[in-house]
Amino acid sequence: MLRAPLLRGSGTKTVTRRKHKTFRQSSRVTAIRSYHESKPMLIRKSPELRYSQVTPRAAYLNRRHFLAAGIGGLAALRQAKAGAKLSASKSSFSTSEPLTPLEAITHYNNFYEFGTDKEDPSKNAYKLKTSPWTVKVEGAVAKSTVLDLDAIFKIAPLEERIYRHRCVERWSMVIPWIGFPLNALLKKVDPTAKAKYVAFESLYDSKSMLPSAFAGINFPYIEGLRMDEAMHPLTLLAVGLYGENLPNQDGAPIRLVVPWKYGYKSIKSIVKIKLVEKEPPTTWNLSASNEYGFYSNVNPERDHPRWSQTKERRIGEFRLRDTVKFNGYGDQVASLYNGMDLIRKYY
Amino acid sequence: MNKVLSSRWAKVLLFALCLLPLLLLIWRFYHDQLGANPIENITHKTGDWTIRFLLITLCVTPFRKLLNQPKLARFRRMLGLFAFFYGCLHLMTWVWLDKFFDLHEMWRDVVKRRYITVGMTGFVLLIPLAITSTAGWVRRLGFVRWQRLHRLVYFSALAGVIHYYWLVKSDVRLPLLYAGILAILLIYRLPGWLRSTEPRPQGSVAHR
Option in B36, B97, B98 nearest A107 (CB): B36
Contact at CB, B169 and A23, closer than 8 angstroms: no
Residue of B nearest to A173 (CA): B36
β-strands A171-181, A236-241 pairing: antiparallel
Whose CA is closest to A220, among A112, A121, A139, A119?
A112
Which chain B residues touch A116 with a CB distance below 8 Å?
169-171
Task: Check residue A59 and give its pLDDT.
Answer: 60
Residues of chain A with pLDDT under 70: 1-84
Residue of B nearest to A291 (CA): B169
Which chain A residues touch B170 with a CB distance below 8 Å?
112, 116, 215-217, 287-288
In this prediction the pTM is 0.83
Amino acid (one-letter) located at A203: L
Ordered domains of chain A (ranges, CATH): 1-83 (no CATH), 87-286 (3.90.420.10)
- Per-residue confidence in pLDDT tens, chain B, 208 aa: 778 888 889 999 999 999 999 999 999 999 999 999 999 999 999 999 999 999 999 999 999 999 999 999 999 999 999 999 999 999 999 999 999 999 999 999 999 999 999 999 999 999 999 999 999 999 999 999 999 999 999 999 999 999 999 999 999 999 999 999 999 999 999 998 888 665 555 554 544 4
User: CA angle at residue B64 from B60 to B70, to 5 degrees?
Assistant: 120
| Phi–psi pair at A314, nearest 5 degrees | -70, 125
β-strands A89-90, A270-276 pairing: unpaired
Where along chain B do its domains lie?
Answer: 2-195
Residue of B nearest to A283 (CA): B170
Beta-carbon contacts of A116 under 8 Å, excluding residues fewer than 6 positions away, are A210, A214, A215, A216, B169, B170, B171
Which chain A residues touch B37 with a CB distance below 8 Å?
108, 118, 171, 313, 315
Instruction: Report the alpha-carbon distance of residue B110 to residue A132 in Å, rounded.
Output: 51
Residue of A nearest to B173 (CA): A214
Q: Which of B97, B170, B174, B177 to probe the A interface (max A CBs under 10 A)?
A: B170
Task: Check residue B192 and give its pLDDT.
Answer: 87
Q: Is A326 helix (H, G, I), strand (E, B) or coil?
A: helix
Task: Check residue B197 and give its pLDDT.
Answer: 61
